[in-house]
């Protein structure tokens, strides 16, 4: 329908098409959780991801008992691995409310989960399943096509349909040209055969008496090699009058078809009419044979906040100290104010981050590639030992470093910045990712990497370069983005950013003044400037210390 609409309305907008194509329809069904605005945004940009959830129901049993039934799983999720994962989570007590999982599937999916008791909070148990398993997942959408079969391109929805339709038109013209060549060849042969029927007695005599009848036929009747060969290949039964009439009718039909094909090849209007007719025929054949065009995947919008309720319902405020090592091992220790000597670290490894949090909190991790990952504290192992590799808990690429770890607070903002001096302000709420694969926040250039994300703690930013150039300017000059490449914070030739800090308005003598070896706030005004400038050399006392961080 959308393709036909584009043919009839070449100047249509994507907004018009999204009224026809509401969203993708996956063969395994399920529920799309994103709203229409998010889907439209993907169709506008040609890329993105959609949250897809299983289709399920609570089945009531006798005596107040119940069980949770899953009868559609998300696209590309393997049922066997899903059940195995749920069983492992039950064994490790991460799905504390689930007693057992059974596969009762036949020709349709039926996965049964039994609650530990009938008094278990249904919503909490179900949301725990969505949180820890692939019963809810993200499906990447990439509208990539080969333009003219050569150049790859990410297209919006309209471009995708236009390229598809243009391909169909080209297929039509190639097929028509091929058919036209065959018609011309056949007409040429028929012309020779009719000539043979007109001079049938002479042709028979030549064939019977001459040693080289083909050459004589070519010479006497001015035939081509192909025509003469076709005459010689005629069977005796084909020499009837009826076959002569059949040839004449075939000639007339082919000439009519050739005329129609020539008109088609000369007129784009006729070509598009033919493409539209093919689309209608395809629609009719599919409607007759396939599920009457009913959608398998439905829409069930839920906001990120609703999906995060499970974390809010965790009322375990017990103190936890989370330790992340340089080589990527993470472990939780019960309690706060723990001596560093109590932390178990492998030989050759070092502590990189140590955070004091509570068991119901969520951590945000930022990597050098600019991705944001979320990790619930209650997911982190608190068993004796070295902990577990971070990439087991989140889908972090081993070649990228974690550059920032902090407690998630929805009302906070931070500054994310790169080695080359680019950056922007981001709301912590934009760092939420509901999947292990995380969310791309900073679009990093090939020769660049993210250095960190710092919570905003003032009204001015102080930037230090590797050449000890200082620059101070208002944070209000930096845009707030959900995702992007950032803006130039400080201009560099060969150096990189070393560190940043913030200057609060109400501090009379902040720590940074003492660090820089200055007497008061008035002296620091020397380094005030505009965003994107080079800055000036830091105080000599500070440079002599060779400090690489504030």
Q: What is the CATH number of the domain that holds 171?
A: 1.10.268.10
| Phi, psi of 203, rounded to the nearest 5 degrees | -65, -45
Paired tokens of 325: 């090592």
Q: Say yes or no: 51 and 106 in one domain.
A: yes
Nearest alpha carbon to residue 231 among 182, 184, 191, 183:
191
Paired tokens of 68: 């949770």
* Bridge partners of residue 422, in order along the sequence: 488
For residues 117-142, average pLDDT: 86
Q: What is the pLDDT of residue 304?
A: 52
> Beta strands 298-299 and 31-32: pairing type?
parallel
Query: Considering only 291-305, 386-400, 462-476, which range has the smallest mean pLDDT?
Result: 291-305
Q: Say yes or no: 139 and 173 in one domain.
A: no
Q: What is the DSSP letter of 299?
A: E
For tokens 């994962």, the residue is 85
Q: Which domain holds residue 182?
A: 159-266
Residue ending a domain, among 85, 110, 144, is 144
Q: How confident is the model at residue 196 (pLDDT cuts 50, 70, 90)?
A: confident
For residues 340-348, average pLDDT: 88
Q: How confident is the model at residue 32 (pLDDT cuts 50, 70, 90)?
A: very high
Return the top range by mean pLDDT from 109-123, 287-301, 391-405.
109-123
- Residue 479 CA to residue 9 CA, distance in Å, equals 39
Q: For 75-85, how does the pLDDT look when each residue is reduced to its tens digit (9 = 90+)?
A: 999 999 999 99
Q: For 365-395, how does the pLDDT look when each residue is reduced to its tens digit (9 = 90+)?
A: 999 999 999 998 888 888 778 888 888 788 7
Q: How confident is the model at residue 121 (pLDDT cuts 50, 70, 90)?
A: confident
Residue ending a domain, among 144, 169, 191, is 144
Q: Does residue 316 have a pLDDT over 80? A: no
Q: Say yes or no: 421 and 538 in one domain.
A: yes
Cβ within 8 Å of residue 357, ≥6 positions away? 319, 320, 321, 322, 363, 377, 407
Q: Say yes or no: 135 and 184 in one domain.
A: no
Q: Say yes or no: 86 and 167 in one domain.
A: no
- Tell me if 15 sits within 8 A of 92, measured CB to CB: no
Burial-class residue 192 by CB neighbours within 10 Å (0-12, 13-18, 19+): buried
- Residue 318 CA to residue 377 CA, distance in Å, equals 11
Q: Does residue 64 have a pLDDT over 90? A: no
- Residue 24 CA to residue 148 CA, distance in Å, equals 25
- Residue 23 CA to residue 154 CA, distance in Å, equals 18
Q: Say yes or no: 101 and 191 in one domain.
A: no
Number of separate domains in the chain: 3
Q: Say yes or no: 549 and 418 in one domain.
A: yes
Q: Does residue 303 have a pLDDT over 70? A: no
Does residue 373 sit within a domain? no
The mean predicted confidence, pLDDT, of the chain is 87
- The 10 Å Cβ neighbour count of residue 97 is 18
Q: What is the pLDDT of residue 456?
A: 94
Which strands sit side by side in the sheet containing 66-72, from one edge to the other? 55-60, 66-72, 111-115, 98-103
Query: Considering only 120-124, 449-453, 524-528, which range has the smallest mean pLDDT?
Result: 120-124
Return the top range by mean pLDDT from 78-82, 137-141, 212-216, 493-497.
78-82
**Start-to-end CA span in the chain (Å):** 61
Q: Percentage of the chain with pLDDT > 70?
A: 94
């Amino acid at each position: 329908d959308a393709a036909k609409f584009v043919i009839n309305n070449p100047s249509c907008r994507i907004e018009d098409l999204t009224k026809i194509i509401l969203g993708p329809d996956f063969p395994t069904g399920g529920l799309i959780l994103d709203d229409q605005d998010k889907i439209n945004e993907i169709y506008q940009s040609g890329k993105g991801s959609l949250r897809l959830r299983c289709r399920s129901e609570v089945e009531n049993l006798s005596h107040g008992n119940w069980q949770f039934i899953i009868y559609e799983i998300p696209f590309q999720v393997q049922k066997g691995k899903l059940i195995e994962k749920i069983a492992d989570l039950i064994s490790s007590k991460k799905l504390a409310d689930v007693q057992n999982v059974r596969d009762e599937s036949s020709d349709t999916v039926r996965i049964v989960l039994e609650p530990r008791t009938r008094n278990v909070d249904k919503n909490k148990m179900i949301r725990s399943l969505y949180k820890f398993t692939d019963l809810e997942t993200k499906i990447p959408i990439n509208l990539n096509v080969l333009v003219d079969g050569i150049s790859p391109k990410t297209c919006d929805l309209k471009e995708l349909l236009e390229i598809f339709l243009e391909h169909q038109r080209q297929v039509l013209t190639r097929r028509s040209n091929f058919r036209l060549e065959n018609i011309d060849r056949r007409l040429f042969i028929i012309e020779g055969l009719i000539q043979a029927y007109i001079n049938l007695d002479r042709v028979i005599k030549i064939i019977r008496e001459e040693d080289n009848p083909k050459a004589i036929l070519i010479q006497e009747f001015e035939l081509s090699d192909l025509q003469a060969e076709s005459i010689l290949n005629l069977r005796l039964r084909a020499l009837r009058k009826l076959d002569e009439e059949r040839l004449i009718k075939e000639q007339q039909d082919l000439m009519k078809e050739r005329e129609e094909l020539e008109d088609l090849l000369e007129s784009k209007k006729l070509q598009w009419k033919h493409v539209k007719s093919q689309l209608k025929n395809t629609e009719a054949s599919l409607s007759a044979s396939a599920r009457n065009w009913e959608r398998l995947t439905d829409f069930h919008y839920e906001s990120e906040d609703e999906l995060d309720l499970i974390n809010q319902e965790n009322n375990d405020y017990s103190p936890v100290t989370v330790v992340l090592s340089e080589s990527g091992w993470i472990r939780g220790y019960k309690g706060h104010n723990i001596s560093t000597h109590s932390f178990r670290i492998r030989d050759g490894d070092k502590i990189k981050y140590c955070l004091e949090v509570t068991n119901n909190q969520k951590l945000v991790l930022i990597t050098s590639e600019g991705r944001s990952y979320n990790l619930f504290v209650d997911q982190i192992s608190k068993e004796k030992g070295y902990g577990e590799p971070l990439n087991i808990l989140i889908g972090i690429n081993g070649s990228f470093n974690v550059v920032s770890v902090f407690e998630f607070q929805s009302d906070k903002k931070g500054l994310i910045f790169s080695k080359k001096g680019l950056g922007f302000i981001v709301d912590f709420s934009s760092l939420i990712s509901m999947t292990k694969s995380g969310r791309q926040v900073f679009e990093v250039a090939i020769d660049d990497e993210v250095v960190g994300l710092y919570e905003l703690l003032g009204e001015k930013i102080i930037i230090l370069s590797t050449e000890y150039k200082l620059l101070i300017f208002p944070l209000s000059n930096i845009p707030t983005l959900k995702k992007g490449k950032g803006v130039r914070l400080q201009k560099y030739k060969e150096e990189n950013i070393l560190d940043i800090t913030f200057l609060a308005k109400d501090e009379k003598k902040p720590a940074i003044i003492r660090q820089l070896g200055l007497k008061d706030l008035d002296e620091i005004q020397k380094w005030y400037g505009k965003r994107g400038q080079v800055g000036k050399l830091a105080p000599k006392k500070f440079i002599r210390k060779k400090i690489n961080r504030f």
